[in-house]
Amino acid sequence: MSDNDIRIQPLDRAAHRALTGWIADAERAGIDIDDASSMEKAYEDYFTSVQETPAAERTDPTQVLTMIGIAMGEHVQRRTEVSWRVATDADGPDLALVGADETGVFFPVDPVADNWNAGQRGWLAEFTEQVVASLGAPPA
């Protein structure tokens, strides 16, 4: 598979279980999936918590960042006409949001991880709403 090739498949049982698990984890962590500012607060609180933890005592942030990314993706999915799918690219399979024509693929965990790695703060709610606006709301 080349770097530009992406194979789209429906959610299988394991992927569906993973998706619902991440969403449940987010809700247990106090994230309101219907409120982008709630996701940003979770991200900001975690960012602050990690910064206040001595470097030698910090744990891998992947689980928390994935949870926040999936929550953001579910927020987008509920407001647009994209659907959860398994998208496989050169990095392997991952949960992604895909339009009906399968021409656009959005991996919601990626911007969370990328902004985390860049030390960015205060971006998540606005970014999420921009994604929703760019995809458009489903017809009434």
The model's pLDDT over 99-134, given as tens digits with 9 standing for 90+, comes to: 988 888 999 999 999 999 999 999 999 999 999 999
Going by their DSSP bridges, the two strands 83-89 and 7-9 should be labelled as antiparallel
Provide the 8-state DSSP code for 89: E
**127 vs 136: CA distance, rounded Å:** 14
pTM comes to 0.93
CATH fold of 7-132: Four Helix Bundle (Hemerythrin (Met), subunit A) (1.20.120)
Q: What pLDDT is stored for residue 139 in this prediction?
A: 64
Of the chain, the percentage scoring pLDDT greater than 70 comes to 94
**Per-residue model confidence as pLDDT tens digits over 20-71:** 999 999 999 999 999 999 999 999 999 999 999 999 999 999 999 999 999 9
Burial (CB < 10 A; 0-12, 13-18, 19+), residue 72, is: buried
